[in-house]
Amino acid sequence: MSRPRELSWLAGHQALRRGRVSIVGQIYLLTVTTLCREPLFADFSNACCVARCFESRLCLGENHLLAWVLMPDHAHWLLQLGEGERLETSVGRLKAVSARQLNRQSGRRTPVWTAAFHDHALRNEKEVLPAARYIVANPIRAGLVRRVGDYPFWNAQWL
């Protein structure tokens, strides 16, 4: 029996949450997308606004953002969960603060991010650097630039 079309997105959203655990000190590879994959951050001013948020204590709370990249329609974060933080709350705060700042700057009144996000808890220290490299090389794989240094919207604590 097929699921009614209007509920099919809900099943996918709930499946993303199944098995999600918040562990202080754990490093997570996270992916968030803009609503309807709208390329909001192809606009330089929009991208600058949101990139500033990713570096602010207001967005991060007690968490540490080890690496990130802001693509035209999504973002990847390598986030280490801080003391007293929950993964869902931390991601929600990053999305809420950045959306509020972007909407204030641009005069928008519509949602920026989808409600869901994808997470992968890294298993050990050996996965951290490859995950960071994966994140910062995203603009190259997408064909936006030839070299990482040519793309302005990324950061990694090692560089």
10-25 tens-digit pLDDT = 444 444 456 678 999 9
pLDDT at position 44, please?
98
pTM of the model as a whole: 0.86
Find the Cα–Cα–Cα–Cα dihedral 87, 133, 159, 86, rounded to 10°. Answer: 0
Instruction: Give residues with Cβ within 8 angstroms of 85, minimum separation 6.
Output: 22, 24, 61, 62, 63
For 93-135, write each residue's pLDDT tens digit: 999 999 999 999 999 999 999 999 999 999 999 999 999 999 9
Q: If you average pLDDT over residues 33-55, what whole number do you get?
A: 98
Decide if pLDDT at 7 tops 80.
Answer: no
Confirm if 120 and 20 have CB atoms less than 8 A apart: no
Q: What fold, for 22-156?
A: Alpha-Beta Plaits (3.30.70)
Provide the pLDDT confidence category of residue 65 given band limits of 50, 70 and 90.
Answer: very high
The share of the chain scoring above pLDDT 70, in percent, equals 87
Q: If you average pLDDT over residues 136-144, what whole number do you get?
A: 98
> What is the b/e burial string over 32-58, where b = at least 16 CB atoms within 10 angstroms of the residue's CB?
bbbeeeeebbeeeebbebbbebbeeee
Domain residue spans of the chain: 22-156
Decide if pLDDT at 33 tops 80.
Answer: yes
Confirm if 79 and 63 have CB atoms less than 8 A apart: yes
